[in-house]
A and B are shown apart, each in its own frame.
Chain A
Amino acid sequence: MGMDRWFLLAATLLAAVGGAWGMVSVHGGKRSHWTVVWMIGVFLCQLGFLGIRGEMRAACPLMDRGEILAFLAWSLTLFYLLVGPAYRISLLGVFTAPVVVIFQTAALIPGTLTAHPAKLPGSSAWHETHSAMSVLAYGALALAAVAGVMFLVLDRQLKEHHLKSGLFKNLPPVRELLISLERLLWLGSGLLSIGIAAGFLMPRTASAWGHLIAAVAVWGGYLVLLGVKQVRGLTGRRLSLSAVVLFVLSLLVFAFV
């Protein structure tokens, strides 16, 4: 097994242990102060993986499905590290870690990650911008979906007056969750806009059209959601559900297109 896979495996194990540790703390009614430290470890290992793959490719490592999944997990971790501690949403890490584990485990499934990636001579700058920005955008949108799940859990507990669990005690306030969720949606949509613009400028094969159309559809979905939220307003529950559904749909679309 190459060094790149070892890095990815280490990142996956760290995320799994960090997530489990956080869940146990939260279940016991304590704040999971160490989650951010575990996630920094995850982030460093992801950087190690991407660095090695980047050197192998001599380009941005976004060529096979495994690399895309790992890059997505890295992007998700990056946005968690940017958003979580700043808004003191330490619990975001506990919810993010399992998603990172899922993406990276999928990337580690034999055959998903090319064992000996070929160098890509003369790769287009627009192509790399398109790939990197799109995957970064999905990192932000994934984190928005995570924040949405957190809101839905808290909303249900508040509605049904189930206020005794350690999870309830540790979840951030409703308003802060909704603000973070909306900002992440704006950030993700902004990055996706750049990614799509770059997609139209890059040299395309006929098969890339389907991919680009799917990306535009997803982008349109997010823009409609933000437009409705901005102009008419949306309940927290609908905004959160939409963020989760749109993200899952976009993953499914790209899995098949």
Chain B
Amino acid sequence: MELLCLGLNHRTAPVEVREKFAVGNTKLGEAAMDLIALAEATEGVVISTCNRTEFYLAAERAGEAFAKIELRLAEKIQVDSSVAAHFYRLEKIAAARHLCRVVSGLDSMMLGETEIFGQVKHAYGAALDAGATGAILNKLFQRAFGVGKKVRTETSIQEGSTSVGNVAVDLAEKIFGHLKHSEVMILGAGEMSRITAQSLVSRGARSIFVANRSFDRAQELATEMGGSAVRFDDWQSVLTRVDVVISSTGAPHTIVHREDVEKARRARKYRPLFFIDIAVPRDIDPAVGEIEEVYLYDIDTLEQLAEEARGRRQLQIEQCECIIDFELAKLNLPGL
């Protein structure tokens, strides 16, 4: 009995190919049973996320199993044989190591991301419930989950935010703690503002105010985020109540001046105020950051912090690989 993995991911296949092989969350168990039938294998698990579709199998002969799946999948999904070039084929220990890397977030587009762990766990659970797994895959997946946990607890692979939006949200939490008591104002209804504000809302921000030169667009975004639209000329009056301001207008000059903030300080009782300026050219006069209770971060600073976090994660890869090799060496599996 041999362990094998056939898959494609964001590195080997463009989205138009990946989407053809994508399997819905509710159909993973059924897909695992189909896979066993297609490959004439004894065990199978199908993992499908937006960045990858992978088939894990325990079969008598790997070479034959690969050929059967590729041929029959191409027929079933009605794609030509050129898609075969997008697949990677891994056998025995290489397949096991790959699964551990996937579960640990080492193979993800965003290195060290944690969502994949839950996605693989769900895929395995579906296959287990459908009766598509046996001694080999059960042992392999259980060990991979153990390795994934160990990698995350013993290294810093998931530490630090690697996107501008997440860095901004982490900083907001460092200033205000839980965001459930925080109010947010967005200046300019651009895409970056929307993404950052959504991250804040997902972490509990209480209410959102949207100010935009086009009031219709402000209303549109406010409705989408469950907030309120504000006329652009009125943003100064809202400044007295909010805790976070995200600015991303397309204006060629600064929008928020030191005097604007100075005027609001008394009414705010000098509470901390966090400005996130993600516009280029900048919307917020750097002098605003000199006000005692104001914390001002522009796009360069946020990007630099995200880049540093990405760099720190890269440095952890070697340590993660050592943990994986060490744990796999202890795995006494017949298919390896």
A binds B: yes
Stretch at the interface among A118-126, A155-163, A191-199: A155-163
Asked whether any CB of chain B lies closer than 8 Å to the CB of A234, the reply is: yes
| Interface 9-mer from A50-58, A128-136, A171-179, A208-216 | A171-179
Minimum distance in angstroms from B270 CB to a CB of chain A: 4
**Contact segment of B134-142, B196-204, B255-263, B291-299:** B291-299
Q: Mark B286-315, 1 if CB is under 8 A from A, else 0.
A: 000100110101000100010010000000
Partner of A174, one of B266, B272, B308: B272
A residues 146-185 in Cβ contact with B at 8 Å = 154, 158-159, 161, 163-164, 168, 171-176, 178
Q: What are 6 residue pairs bridging A and B, where the CB atoms are less than 8 Å apart in the complex?
A: A161-B305, A164-B308, A172-B177, A174-B174, A174-B176, A175-B177
Contact between A235 and B270 (Cβ–Cβ < 8 Å)?
yes
A22 partner residues in chain B, CB cutoff 8 A: none
Known: A158-B175, A173-B175, A174-B174. A237 touches B295 (CB 8 A): no
A159 near B268 (CB under 8 angstroms)?
Answer: no
Interface check B92, CB cutoff 8 A? no
| B270-295 interface bits toward A, Cβ cutoff 8 Å, 1 = contact, 0 = none | 11100000000000000001001101
Bound-complex Cα distance A29 to B301 (A): 22
Q: Is B115 an interface residue (CB 8 A)?
A: no
Contacts of A173 in B (CB 8 A): 173-177
Closest chain B residue, CB of each to CB of A177: B177
Chain A residue numbers with a CB within 8 Å of B181 are 175
Chain B 151-191 residues near chain A, CB threshold 8 A: 156, 171, 173-177, 181
* Interface membership of A220, Cβ < 8 A: no
Beyond A174-B175, A233-B270, is A158–B293 a contact (Cβ under 8 Å)?
Answer: no
Evaluate contact between A233 and B295: CB separation under 8 angstroms.
Answer: no
Interface residue? A232 (CB, 8 A): yes
Q: Does any Cβ of B come within 8 Å of A238's Cβ?
A: yes
A19 CB within 8 Å of chain B = no
Beyond the given A159-B289, A174-B272, A234-B270, could you list 18 further A-B residue pairs with CB under 8 A, ordered by the A residue number?
A: A154-B174, A158-B175, A171-B174, A172-B177, A173-B174, A173-B177, A175-B176, A175-B272, A176-B177, A178-B272, A232-B266, A232-B269, A233-B269, A235-B292, A235-B293, A236-B270, A236-B272, A237-B292
Question: Closest A-chain residue to B175, C-beta based?
Answer: A174
Complex contacts, B301 vs chain A, CB 8 Å: 161
Cα distance A168–B159 when bound, in Å? 14
Q: Is the CB of B174 within 8 A of A238?
A: no
How far does the Cβ of B315 sit from chain A's closest Cβ, in whole Å?
Answer: 13
Closest to B170 in A: A163
Q: How long is the Cα–Cα vector from A203 to B295 in the complex, in angstroms?
A: 53
Instruction: State A158–B268 Cα separation when bound (angstroms).
Output: 20
Specify the chain A residue showing the minimal Cβ separation from B296. Answer: A159
- Give the total of A residues in contact with B, Cβ under 8 Å: 22
Cα of A11 to Cα of B177 in the assembled complex, Å = 33
Number of interface residues of B (CB under 8 A): 22
Q: How far is the CA of A232 from the CA of B267 in the complex (A)?
A: 9
Bound-complex Cα distance A164 to B156 (A): 13
Q: Is the CB of B268 within 8 A of A233?
A: yes
The answer to whether A158 and B308 have CB atoms under 8 Å apart is no
Q: What chain B residues lie within 8 Å of A237 (beta carbons)?
A: 292-293
A-B complex: 8 closest residue pairs judged by Cβ atoms: A233-B269, A173-B177, A235-B292, A235-B270, A233-B270, A235-B293, A174-B175, A176-B177
Whole-angstrom distance from the CB of A34 to the nearest CB of chain B?
18
Count chain A CB atoms within 10 A of each CB in B272, B295, B305 and give the residue with the most: B272
* Most B C-beta atoms less than 10 A away, residue of A154, A163, A176: A163
CA distance A172 to B171 in the complex (A): 12
**Quick check: A238 and B176 within 8 Å, CB to CB?**
no
Q: How far is the CA of A236 from the CA of B266 in the complex (A)?
A: 14
Q: How far is the CB of A40 from chain B (nearest CB, A)?
A: 26
Q: Name the B residues within 8 Å of A235 (CB-CB).
A: 270, 292-293
Q: Smallest distance from the beta carbon of B287 to chain A beta carbons, Å? A: 14
Q: A173-B174, A175-B177 in contact; A238/B292 too (CB < 8 A)?
A: yes
Q: A150 to chain B: closest CB distance in Å?
A: 13
For A159, the chain B residues whose CB sits under 8 A away are: 289, 295
- Asked if B175 and A233 make an inter-chain contact with CB atoms under 8 angstroms apart, the answer reads no
- What residues on A are CB-neighbors of B271 within 8 Å? 233
In the complex, the chain A residue whose C-beta lies closest to that of B304 is: A161
A163 vs B305: C-alpha distance when bound (angstroms):
8
CA distance A178 to B266 in the complex (A): 18
Tell me which residues across on chain B come within 8 A of A161, comparing CB atoms: 297, 301, 305
CA distance A161 to B156 in the complex (A): 21
B305 touches A158 (CB 8 A): no
Interface residues of B in 227-273 (CB under 8 A from A): 266, 268-272
Q: Considering only CB atoms, which chain A residue lies closest to B289 in the complex? A: A159
Chain B residues, Cβ within 8 Å of A172: 177
* Whole-angstrom distance between the Cβ of A163 and the nearest chain B Cβ: 6
Q: Report the nearest A residue to B156, measured CB to CB.
A: A29
Provide the residues of chain B in CB contact with A163, threshold 8 Å. Answer: 171, 305
CB distance from B263 to the nearest CB of A (A): 14
Q: How far is the CA of A158 from the CA of B172 in the complex (A)?
A: 11
Q: Which residues from chain A contact B177 at a C-beta distance below 8 Å?
A: 172-173, 175-176
* Nearest CB on B from A208, distance (A): 39
Chain A residues positioned under 8 Å from B174 (CB to CB): 154, 158, 168, 171, 173-174
Measured in the bound complex, the distance between the Cα atoms of B181 and A173 in whole Å is: 13
> How many angstroms from the CA of A238 to the CA of B293 in the assembled complex?
10
Which chain A residues border B269 with CB–CB below 8 Å?
232-234
